[in-house]
């Protein structure tokens, strides 16, 4: 069962197997907030731990650093570092993850001193996100466990502050569980997750969400809708394509801001006839990450009750080298009529997105955001912890930067360069699906995608590198990371809040 989270009292929290006391550092010394009881589980807690004691115990200033004072008879007390400030959300995510590690598979209570917190809701949300995200395991055999947040004041937190913490915990649970849902699908073997099964899983996720409608397009509908690029990618596989179309609209009678999310959904990418190496295929079950991320973001927006309309479009296909597979040199016609010369069948994600973006542009949203594990060039440029993005307007770029800072998922803006349009000129079609070898691969892909946005405000998120992790790190777990989900949610939340009249 997944880890649960809730707000509880100090008395009940003291019954948990592990109680976590956060500390802040100043000059090498660790300080405990005055609101924390001086005795916890039989352990006397000084207000200051000396630099020498911290060094001996391995407790460092780095957020998420921890040490455990263990007990044979009673509860264990863990000290977890928040860094030098009480108001860094990312530090609380790392502290939440550290608290879960200290507790093992047992229950844990986190003593959250609320004095001096600028935004208790955001910090409590971050704390719970870190705890629940770090607790995810694909092979989950853990018993039921609870992450209890204990708001502390002097002597008690006000009703308002308690309510803010409770709201933060509620939001953190919704966001983290949505991201973990996406992670589980990303980690599912491709043999168990065909386009049909992925579409059904998405429908199961959102069908009961408030104000959400969902439609799954089968191959016949895809043919009728003229999604020639999606059909071309899928034709080498016995598994037929699908397309997910979901809409969240909490108030159809009102003109809410409308954001369309488009996600790449290649359930397995062999490269097609432009075959990948064996090693290159080992992680290609994760090439559908974008599709589940846009569904997760829409579902989270619904469960949070955000005042924004969201449409999620996810074209799904397998890219295999079957007897009917598309061949290098073939020409596909996308939904918007653009013809594409396919010179490399392993550059298939942009083909799916061509149809998805064309559909999104037709519904005239205020903004389009696509998410894709698109290019190895992104990973080369930024590694496996930073995503790349391209934005067609400065306003959208500002939203992405702010959302990235809020979520703790780092994104770096890369530029468009119109001079590279010549790299994708085709003698036989409107555009080629690749540019010059080893030159600006992520940028070239973005330029190709731009042709299908019809000039709408648009952001392209390339998450090829950070979409999976080779090792556990902080609150990031090995395997699929769902990197980008929380940034999308933070962006949607900001759009909704900005639309509220003063």
Positions annotated as catalytic residues are 276, 350
Q: Beta strand 339-342 with 330-333: parallel, antiparallel or unpaired?
A: antiparallel
What CA–CA distance (Å, rounded) separates 78 from 88? Answer: 20
| Displacement of CA 462 from its chain's centroid (Å) | 12
Q: What is the 3-state secondary structure (H, E, C) of 205-229?
A: HHCCCCCEEEEEECHHHHHHCCCHH
Which phi and psi (to 5°) does residue 194 adopt? -70, 170
Cα atoms found within 13 Å of the Cα of residue 143, Cβ hemisphere only? 5
Phi-psi region of 453 (alpha: psi -120 to 50; beta: other; left: phi over 0): alpha
What CA–CA distance (Å, rounded) separates 259 from 250? Answer: 13
What CA–CA distance (Å, rounded) separates 307 from 301? Answer: 9
> Which tokens is 394 given?
């400065």
DSSP code string of 339-403? EEEES-TT--HHHHHHHHHHHHHHT--SEEEEEE---HHHHHHHTTS-EEEEESSHHHHHHHHHH
Asked if omega into 155 is within 30° of 0 (cis), the reply is yes
What CA–CA distance (Å, rounded) separates 295 from 203? Answer: 9
User: Exposed, middle or buried by CB within 10 Å (0-12, 13-18, 19+), for 322?
Assistant: middle
E strand or H helix that includes residue 316: strand 309-319
Sorted by sequence, the CB contacts under 8 Å of residue 2 that are 6+ apart come out as: 132, 135, 136, 140, 177, 180
What CA–CA distance (Å, rounded) separates 241 from 224? Answer: 13
Q: Which of 176, 230, 227 is nearest to 351 (CA)?
A: 230
* Exposure string over 375-400, b if 16+ CB within 10 A, otherwise e: bebbbebbebebbbbbbbeeebbebb
């Amino acid at each position: 069962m997944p880890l649960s989270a809730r707000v509880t009292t100090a008395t009940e929290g003291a019954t948990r197997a592990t109680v976590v006391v956060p500390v802040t550092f100043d000059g090498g010394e660790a300080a405990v907030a005055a609101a924390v009881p001086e005795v916890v589980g039989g352990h006397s807690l000084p207000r200051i731990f000396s630099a020498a004691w911290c060094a001996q115990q391995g407790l460092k200033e780095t957020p998420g650093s921890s040490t455990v004072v263990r007990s044979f008879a009673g509860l264990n007390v863990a000290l977890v570092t928040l860094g030098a400030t009480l108001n860094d959300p990312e530090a609380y995510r790392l502290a939440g993850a550290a608290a879960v590690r200290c507790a093992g598979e047992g229950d844990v209570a986190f003593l959250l001193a609320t004095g001096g917190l600028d935004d208790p809701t955001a910090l409590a949300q971050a704390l719970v996100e870190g705890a629940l995200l770090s607790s995810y395991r694909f092979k989950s055999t853990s018993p039921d466990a609870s992450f209890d947040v204990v708001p502390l004041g002097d002597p008690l937190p006000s009703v308002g502050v308690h309510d803010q913490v409770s709201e933060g915990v509620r939001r953190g649970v919704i966001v983290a569980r949505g991201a973990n849902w996406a992670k589980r699908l990303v980690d599912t073997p491709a043999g168990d997750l065909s386009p049909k099964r992925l579409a059904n899983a998405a429908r199961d996720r959102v069908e009961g969400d408030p104000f959400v409608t969902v439609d799954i397009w089968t191959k016949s509908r895809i043919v009728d809708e003229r999604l020639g690029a999606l059909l071309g990618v899928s034709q080498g596989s016995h598994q037929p394509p699908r397309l997910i179309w979901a809409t969240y609209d909490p108030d159809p009678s009102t003109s809410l801001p409308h954001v369309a999310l488009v996600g790449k959904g290649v359930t397995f990418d062999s490269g097609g006839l432009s075959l990948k190496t064996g090693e290159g295929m080992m992680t290609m079950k994760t090439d559908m990450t974008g599709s589940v991320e846009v569904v997760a973001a829409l579902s989270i927006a619904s469960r949070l009750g955000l005042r924004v309309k969201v449409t999620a479009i996810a074209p799904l296909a397998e890219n295999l080298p079957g007897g009917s597979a598309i061949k290098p040199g073939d020409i596909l016609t996308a939904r918007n009529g653009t013809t594409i010369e396919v010179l490399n069948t392993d550059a298939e994600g942009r083909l799916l997105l061509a149809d998805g973006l064309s559909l999104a542009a037709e519904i005239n949203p205020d903004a389009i955001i696509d998410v894709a594990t698109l290019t190895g060039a992104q990973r080369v440029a930024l590694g496996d912890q930073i995503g790349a993005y391209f934005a067609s307007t400065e306003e959208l770029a500002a939203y992405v930067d702010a959302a990235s800072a809020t979520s703790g998922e780092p994104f770096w803006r890369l530029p468009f360069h119109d001079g590279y349009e010549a790299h994708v000129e085709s003698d036989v079609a409107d555009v080629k699906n690749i540019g010059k070898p080893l030159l600006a691969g992520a940028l070239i892909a973005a330029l190709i995608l731009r042709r299908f946005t019809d000039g709408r405000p648009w952001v392209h998120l390339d998450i090829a590198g950070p979409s999976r992790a080779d090792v556990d790190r902080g609150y990031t777990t090995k395997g699929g990371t769902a990197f980008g989900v929380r940034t999308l949610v933070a962006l949607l939340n900001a759009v909704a809040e900005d639309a509220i009249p003063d």
